[in-house]
Structure 1
Amino acid sequence: MSTFRVLNQHDIKSVLEMKSVMNLVEDAYVFKAKKSASLFPMVFHEFHPGVADMDIKSGKITEADIFGLKLVSWFGENPSKGIPAVIGTILVLDITTGTPLGILSGEYITLMRTGAAAGIGAKYLAREESEELLIVGSGHVAPYAILSTLLAMDNIKRVTIYNDNSFDRAQTFSDSIKNKLFELISPYQESDASYYYELLKKIEISFVATDDIKLATQQADIIITATPSRKPLIQDIWVQPGTHISCLGSDMKGKQEIDEELFTHARIFVDDIDQSFDVGESEIPYLKGKFTKQDVIAEIGEVILGNGKGRLSDSDITIYDSTGISLQDLITANHILKIAKEKNVGQLADL
């Protein structure tokens, strides 16, 4: 019989904050680059095309003595039944015995680690003096991507929000985002008051909605795309020299957020080469013959280690294709399990 911990979303929110997640995700990228962590083949299955599907991302982190998986299901008709459309579950196991260490709700972890990737991309690939941040997409991931980028970059003065389907949604998001950011930084208020007040200053900037994506792109220093789009929302000719783009939305075959022509002259970085070309933003440009795996400058872990050169000049256009890898989930979940054990959070169960 083995004992493991079960954590729901409330439990996870009580012990997790963005600064730690960003450090953990960087560690995951570095472990991968150092070959002390690896991915297993991704599994995808459609129960009913366009209605219900699932995917499994899995891997191992030898450095942390764990392996595991995240299973995410999408059932599009669930909201009409009062059930979330997307449900994620993370399983962490001991690499030396194969016994389970914990089962965790995956939604909040996914939002945090996906958002963290956006900030990490900006940290290593954007110009340090960047002031204008454009968020394309105003869904669940956007607040987390904004927070991580504000944590990573010290000179952001304005955040512009664009929603391809509805200006009103972008406006509603813009009006409410500061309250959401206050909520996300609140864990620091008691644990690290001085850092909390630093963050308060960072979020006291301008947030505006736009329906002019061309102008917003032309003005942006950093662009984060976080949509389910299957057509390019950002055109090549709009992107100015020196811009950095972190692409978060493409995580399934056929998705595309930016013009494939950008891949002919930008410096391209990925979280995992194979996964990016299979389901990421790199897929469509590759299929259209715009670039190949040999044209990828480096995986982000190599850049963090200093083994891969990121931005070479202030005029470079850089793209980070962040498909989201299982190592991000596993390292974050393992961190949560350790804190939960110390604070006696969650429920213990036996198999």
Structure 2
Amino acid sequence: MFEIRVLSKEDISSVIEMQQVIDVVEAVYKARSEGMTEIWPTVFYDFISGKADMDIKSGYLKKEKLFGHKTVTWFEDNAKKGLPTLMGMISVFDAETGQPIGIMDASYITGIRTGAAGALGAKYLAKKNSENLLILGVGNQALFQIAATLKAFPNLRKVQVAAMHIEKAKSFIDNINEKLESKFGINTESVTFKAVENLESAVKDSQIIITVTPSRKPIIKKEWVQKGTHISCIGADMEGKQEIDSKLMSSSLIFVDDKEHCKQVGEIEIPLKKGMISDKDIAGEIGDLILGKVEGRTSEDQITIFDATGMALLDIAIAKIVLQLAEKKGLGTKVNF
């Protein structure tokens, strides 16, 4: 007989903080660069193309002696049913015995670690004096991306939010100051939030752009993007998804979280298949950049791109921290097997 701790979304959100997550995500990227991780093949399935899908990601953290997997579903029409559009579950196992040690909600961990990833791409590739952020998309990810980027760039002064319909963007930024304060402890008195009316103008006005949409056709055009801009591409995580103009890739410095996975399902997938870029145009993985194994931005005019499809390694590492904190506070439900 052995014991498993089961944690809810509320348990998780009550013990983990954004800066902790940013630090853990950065550590995992470094571990990947040092050969201390394994990523196993991802399982994707489209129930309804562009509207309902699921993926199963898994991996192994050698130093922590942990492995696990995450199943996440995204069903767009759930909003009409009063259900979350993003749902899922993370399972964590001891790599020395194979014993399961924890099961928990995946939505909050997925959201916060993905926010950290987008912000870390900007931290290491954007210009240090960047003040204007554009978030493309108002789904589950948007608030996490804003919170993480504000942590990484405390000098941000303007955050613009773009959606397919401006009413959605306006609704999203309603009371956003209070949301960021209550959920993440971030004071935004010096930050202006704006719903985007003209996407072209917003792109031209931004030094950092983070895309978090399920789009299957480019939304951001090459001619809109100004010299020195950084773009973290987060939404493209399944074959056929694309958020930015393929032509932009060939003239930009490109980094990825996991090269092989991004080639299969990331923002670089379609430009690679079209022959608009090749393997040699991918500068490296973000962990190599963090450790100084490869060079990042070399000029103020350079356009940089971070393509992040997400790795279960991040979920497993954060789940470990959450389990430790939850145990100290006596949170969750213990189940004997």
1:147-296 correspondence runs (5 A): 147-163=147-163, 165-186=164-185, 199-200=186-187, 202=188, 204-296=190-282
**Amino acid corresponding to residue 155 of structure 2 in structure 1:** N
- Report the equivalent of 2:30: 30
**Amino acid corresponding to residue 245 of structure 2 in structure 1:** D
**Aligned mates of 1:226, 1:75 — CA distance in 2:** 16
Matched position secondary structure for 1:297: strand
**Aligned mates of 1:244, 1:157 — CA distance in 2:** 16
Q: CA deviation at 1:5?
A: 0.5
**Aligned mates of 1:79, 1:172 — CA distance in 2:** 15
* Structure 1 alignment gaps of length 5 or more: 187-198
Matched position secondary structure for 1:182: helix
The one of 277, 280, 298 equivalent to 2:284 is: 298
- Report the equivalent of 2:144: 144
Matched position secondary structure for 1:64: coil
Give the conservation status (yes or no) of the 8 Å contact 2:250–2:281.
no
1:28-67 correspondence runs (5 A): 28-47=28-47, 52-67=52-67
Q: CA deviation at 1:127?
A: 0.4
Residues 1:119 and 2:105 aligned together = no
**Amino acid corresponding to residue 169 of structure 1 in structure 2:** K
Matched position secondary structure for 1:40: strand
Per the normalisation by structure 2, the TM-score is 0.96
Q: CA deviation at 1:162?
A: 0.9
Q: CA deviation at 1:138?
A: 1.5
Give the conservation status (yes or no) of the 8 Å contact 2:22–2:116.
yes
**Aligned mates of 2:145, 2:189 — CA distance in 1:** 13
- Report the equivalent of 2:336: 350
**Aligned mates of 2:48, 2:160 — CA distance in 1:** 37
**Aligned mates of 1:65, 1:265 — CA distance in 2:** 41
**Aligned mates of 1:77, 1:227 — CA distance in 2:** 15
**Aligned mates of 2:13, 2:154 — CA distance in 1:** 26
Give 4+ residue runs of structure 1 displaced > 6 Å after superposition: none
- Report the equivalent of 1:110: 110
**Aligned mates of 1:133, 1:142 — CA distance in 2:** 12
**Amino acid corresponding to residue 184 of structure 1 in structure 2:** K
**Aligned mates of 1:226, 1:242 — CA distance in 2:** 21
- Report the equivalent of 1:196: none
**Amino acid corresponding to residue 174 of structure 1 in structure 2:** I
Q: CA deviation at 1:73?
A: 2.4
Q: CA deviation at 1:156?
A: 1.1
RMSD over aligned Cα, in angstroms? 1.5
Q: CA deviation at 1:45?
A: 2.7
* Structure 2 alignment gaps of length 5 or more: none
Give the conservation status (yes or no) of the 8 Å contact 2:256–2:262.
yes
- Report the equivalent of 1:314: 300
Matched position secondary structure for 1:44: strand
**In structure 2, do the counterparts of structure 1 residues 80 and 328 end up closer, same or farther at CA, with 3 Å as the change threshold?**
same
Q: CA deviation at 1:175?
A: 2.5
**Aligned mates of 1:243, 1:221 — CA distance in 2:** 5
Give the conservation status (yes or no) of the 8 Å contact 2:13–2:108.
yes
**Aligned mates of 2:45, 2:261 — CA distance in 1:** 16
Q: CA deviation at 1:83?
A: 3.6
Give the conservation status (yes or no) of the 8 Å contact 1:150–1:203.
no
**Aligned mates of 2:88, 2:106 — CA distance in 1:** 4
**Amino acid corresponding to residue 124 of structure 2 in structure 1:** Y
**In structure 2, do the counterparts of structure 1 residues 79 and 159 end up closer, same or farther at CA, with 3 Å as the change threshold?**
closer
**Aligned mates of 2:214, 2:133 — CA distance in 1:** 20
Give the conservation status (yes or no) of the 8 Å contact 1:127–1:314.
yes
- Report the equivalent of 2:7: 7
Per the normalisation by structure 1, the TM-score is 0.92
**Aligned mates of 1:248, 1:117 — CA distance in 2:** 9
**Aligned mates of 1:150, 1:327 — CA distance in 2:** 24
- Report the equivalent of 2:90: 90
**Amino acid corresponding to residue 167 of structure 1 in structure 2:** I
Q: CA deviation at 1:2?
A: 1.5
Q: CA deviation at 1:203?
A: 5.1
CA distances 1:247-278 after superposition (whole Å, capped 9, x unpaired): 11001111111000011110000000011111
Q: CA deviation at 1:82?
A: 4.3
- Report the equivalent of 1:331: 317
